[in-house]
Amino acid sequence: MDKQPAQLVALQQAFASHYHQPHQLAFQAPGRVNLIGEHTDYNDGFVLPCAINFYTWVLANRRPDHKIRVLALDYQQQDEFDLSAPIAAHPCYSWANYVRGVANNLLQQGYELQGCDIAISGNVPKGAGLSSSASLEVALGLCLSTVSGFELSGRDNALNGQQAENQFVGCQCGIMDQLISALGQQGKALLIDTRSLGCAEVSIPQSLSVLIINSNVQRGLVDSAYNQRRQQCEAAARKLGLVALRDISDLELNQQLYKLSPLEAKRARHVVSENQRTRLAARALQQGDIRLLSTLMAQSHQSMQQDFEITVPAIDLLVQLVSAVVGNEGGVRMTGGGFGGCVVALLPSDKIAQVQAVVATEYPAKTGLKADIFVCEASQGATQL
């Protein structure tokens, strides 16, 4: 058995110390990275994420009453609320609203919840766009359902987490993050149809590693720009008479571009072409066609840069630096909402050290920033330990 991560060992010790007894139940759920398929999710399109081997852990013991007590080890903070009373947002702690939101949403669906003592910690890098919040929601859903004696499917757990984040926390996220955290498979990505929630497993060749590079660019206008892009896509779909931009092909779009403003045309072109690239990338990965995957990831980045206009110079530089090392033996692109954040690369394991060295020297020299690099592998979704 693998050696337990230091954070999990520390959490076990903190639980025993705080609640004066060892934990009986333990759960983990992973963070994620999206390999390709950017800004397609709210257009009912396709995404290709994988779960990564960074986790949120939740330890628990049942209580005889309806109280939930929570220790958040990473923040050295505590919360307590009663399941038999209306659950309100926490006045101070944002992390506590994920716990309260997940519990509240399960109660609203008619599930009966048992009280419990909980301790939470994790090593998913916060603020890097790797979905620490979704992994927390999914781990909590698995914990509360198990403690309370009912089964929650991975899909329902993911939907519950998304609804908690949308309605209780107040962040209008899509379903991708929770779905891959709940349903991820070791060594595989998932091609997710965000309209039907259908998932197809896509094997990642063992010769490739997943590398995530956080640019550490301070992201200022992400929320407003995200909402603006969403509105532009919805406006384009309306003018084209579509439910969503996933319902038109490249060819059909080109024939109907006259219906759109120049800006709407660019936004629509990105989404329509990105959906096509994502499905092609899934097939290329499955067949081990790394040369094609490399081309598709490069085209994805170019489309985000030119048509969707969400990259920044520091991110473009990281993509150039990695691409110069990897060539067509792997792929690299920006991943996430944009305006900073992370770059994801699929690359041969023997190229990692060279990429790390190039990024460590050239990125700070040209930007004044230091990048954080995470070497990951596609991992199993939420599980009871």
Rounded CA-CA distance 356/368 in Å is 17
177 is catalytic: yes
Give the DSSP letter string of 243-311. Answer: SSGGGS-HHHHHHHGGGS-HHHHHHHHHHHHHHHHHHHHHHHHHHT-HHHHHHHHHHHHHHHHHTS---
Distances (CA, A) of 84 to 91, 97, 150, 172: 19, 17, 18, 28
Hey, which residues does 71 pair with through a beta bridge?
78, 119
Distance CA 343, CA 366 (A): 17
Catalytic residue among 79, 117, 177, 307: 177
In this structure, the strands spanning 116-122 and 342-348 are unpaired
Question: What are 109's two structure tokens?
Answer: 């669906």
53 vs 57: CA distance, rounded Å: 12
Q: How many other C-beta atoms lie within 10 A of the C-beta of residue 219?
A: 18
How far apart are alpha carbons 215 and 204 in whole angstroms? 25
Query: In the numeric block, which tokens belong to residue 305?
Result: 């840069």
Instruction: List active site positions.
Output: 177
